[in-house]
Structure 1
């Protein structure tokens, strides 16, 4: 074979060897172009999603799940985070006090403020409900909109308010950004009680999300880890909430029978808002109260000693006093109260306990 023929043959062979490389290069280029086209589309399609959705297996009321999930979808905020705020602020609307403006000027499922000490977080965000699709049915639905007592309107506004605390950024994960947003929702992270509030809300949301991941079908009873408070002392409930007595028609807390000198632990993180000695407490003996949010507080009565100061920040489980029998008392025990928007309520749902074990018949 002559030289020209050899060159032609070599070119053909070389072309066969280069062909796959050329084809691969063309394919890679096309994929790159498609990626450039698809990336903005992906960003656009995910701008209203990408946040964790509630799937079950938690104490979150089913009639509110669609509300939290839609707010989470519309504004890219973790749905468990929104639910945990509602639990902290109003115990999912289980009482009636959340329907009236409290001392800070706040109202509704997420305690949006309409004036007063809490400012006005409702008015700037009240039309946020228009961003989402209203569920066909849900708890606390009203006929007019926007309505601060409508749970969908309230949660949508609260979600915008929460994002505003971190520069209107999405909050899809339960991370440091979520913690900073929660601090701002309550007040400011520099304030110890706001930081404690954020830590409690975030821990509960994480517990619920982990629980859902372990049990995606949501089957079985809610885990006690979803409870919002821990027991201040361990002992039998000797007097239930709202028990009728000769001197009172509704016992305003529960009595837990424990020996004299038992340490009393803070049921949740908060700040000491009331310290009263026996002489001024009106039968409560040595008496203290802790605020855990703008809506929720706990109180501890008949102590032999108080170990905290007014205004002091405390963490869940911290020893705050010692049991005794001061005030109107017939034996050593701890009288424990939960107050929601200043109304005394049965502690059972806060302690992850059955209502029958500590709430008198007909008590709320």
Structure 2
């Protein structure tokens, strides 16, 4: 069995590269929309398709990883990710962008981000330390955002988006090498009581658990928030006269603060009831968005908003996946969490696409901001009644 720190480190670096590149995509909107001749809703649809495909194939990719190991899945995903970025660099119309940026990269992300690698990590750490380990891996995505987004911004200014996408393709290809560290199927002592359960039985067990569906509802909101802000916040700030450069600063600051937030919320999940921490996190998001809209917009207020949202950005991942693992065990964690992640990506689809439609129709993002506040309050409520005790199958006789 691999040493836990090796699996955790490789998983974190895979997520660093895959998520770092992904979080930079909003910066490409101004150049690509002018060069290709597409609208914001066209670009938003590409991002929406990416998020939708990311979610739709995730349960199946997760099931493959549960059966054959994460290494092969990550390798295949890294190659497809690089191909999608190269395709986007060569796209000449909206359809080409939708296929490359949308379909190819969306499918690739399902194999190179949280669900697959967290399944590998969950099998090498004890239940008592699992949420904290998930938080470390999640922080890797934020480190990537902090490092890759400024790099992408610099490259866009120096060499343009075509060459930048080629360089990004080279970065994600490195995930294929790191796949060695998460390869194979390993199981932690104490998880073998789930071995006799089939995948179909695991799905049936989850489908009748009300808390599982409440987790799906809450993660939909998380996806809406993240896709809306990552895709449209740079353009929103540019529209308000702050310039496109601040968009890169804001996204990088989100990544920086989420390094801390992911770790803090991951550790909090080891010490406190995870559902209560999730409820507080979503409610805090609504409060932060409302304050951002209430105070006069400035460079300083945008950076403060980025720091606050960054702290709350991906802390949902270790908590939500931790609850799934706690309730149902980790034998089929990648598959079951993959279904919850599908809900997340459905929210991302609407967050990226609907906000673009709203802007094209009204010339403003105000309605989209209002949806974000209401959905955050909704998510804060739906986590409270979740029955988060392990199912009877996992309880001592």
TM-score (norm 2): 0.24
Which structure is higher in helix share?
2
Q: Which has the higher contact order (CA 8 A, sep 6+)?
A: 2
Higher gyration radius (CA)? 1
Pick the structure with more strand per residue. Answer: 1
